[in-house]
A and B are shown apart, each in its own frame.
Chain A
């Protein structure tokens, strides 16, 4: 890799990270719960070092849903960061808590099982994340390029609070170009 590429790559990462963080702040989302993912880490590291945010790392993504829902019902908007395998851990919580109780939570999900995937164990959950979201009627948007990124993130969060159901913002390796782990 050329040195210019590395600088450009770093700049691009910062741009999408910044857009996500700015969008969270625009919507007064100051409470974050997550289970780590190496690509999502580019955002969660920034969030953890920003005093605007209260951050709760959880043991399991389903737990993130409970904690973030508690935050919303106590009056503080919340969001969740996880990878697609972790979305598999959330399905019953979403369908039996957030949908019936109308608790809107934007979920940032790093999509595994996309280009560059090397781990067979990540393929099925990664590739079925969006079909499952469709079946349970949770809207989703995929970020796989830099075009209209702010509109896609912030506009969909507006929609999330208007409709009072959760929202999935799926992140593709085409966006973050990150190493997959």
Chain B
């Protein structure tokens, strides 16, 4: 399965939920697919450009402050850099947080070097023992669609490990300034919470 299909399915099924994306191709594909689906500007997309490892930590901070489902589209390399955040999520246990780990078993964007998930680390088991309520693993897109549809209904925290393949190509970098993302995302959350600017 391709990360592209995973992200597309998330955008098609999660309405206006906040979506936070891992640095690199994950964030770039998120923007391009949002455009393809004619959903731009999707104010609830939070693209990251650095802070490797913090995608799901950011999603946790968002999830605590809202009742909406929050989706973190993370990567294996980034999750491995900050595995501690899985234990913090297990500790806090926000029932609206879904992590989709696009696990290609490599640091793809830096030259396709294999990560520890290509060896003995299983992110779904790590998450389970950190206290995630639900953990899933899938290898094809039809499986993913079913699991994700269910994940939007059940109480989390939920980890979905999607075993993805690389195509060898990466899209152009997301043309959205990070400070604009912050401004727009925050405004949309404030309006939704009926708070004042």
Contacts and interface: CB of A to CB of B under 8 A. Distances in A.
**A and B from one assembly?**
yes
Interface of A: 31, 33, 54, 56-60, 62-63, 65-76, 78, 92-93, 95-97, 100-103, 164
Given A67-B85, A70-B58, A73-B189, 5 more contacts: A59-B87, A73-B62, A75-B65, A96-B51, A102-B178
Determine chain A's interface SS by DSSP, over half rule. Answer: helix
Contact of A73 (B50, B52, B58, B88): B58
Given A92-B50, A101-B178, A102-B182, A58 B88 contact: yes
B65 A93 contact: no
B61 A96 contact: no
Interface string B156-197: 000000000000000000000011011101100110010100
Which of B49, B55, B62, B84 has its CB near the most chain A CB atoms (within 10 A)? B62
Interface string B60-91: 11111110000000000000001011011001
A33 B64 CA distance: 12
B18 interface: yes
A24 to B, nearest CB: 16
B46 interface: yes
Main secondary structure of the interface of B (DSSP, over half): helix
Interface of B: 18, 20, 46, 48-66, 82, 84-85, 87-88, 91-92, 178-179, 181-183, 185-186, 189-190, 193, 195
A96 B49 contact: yes
A68 B179 contact: no
Contacts of B20: 70
A63 B57 contact: yes
A101 B61 contact: no
Given A71-B65, A93-B54, A56 B190 contact: no
Contacts of A68: 61
Given A71-B64, A75-B186, A100-B49, A56 B92 contact: yes
Contact of A56 (B59, B88, B195): B88
Nearest to A65: B54
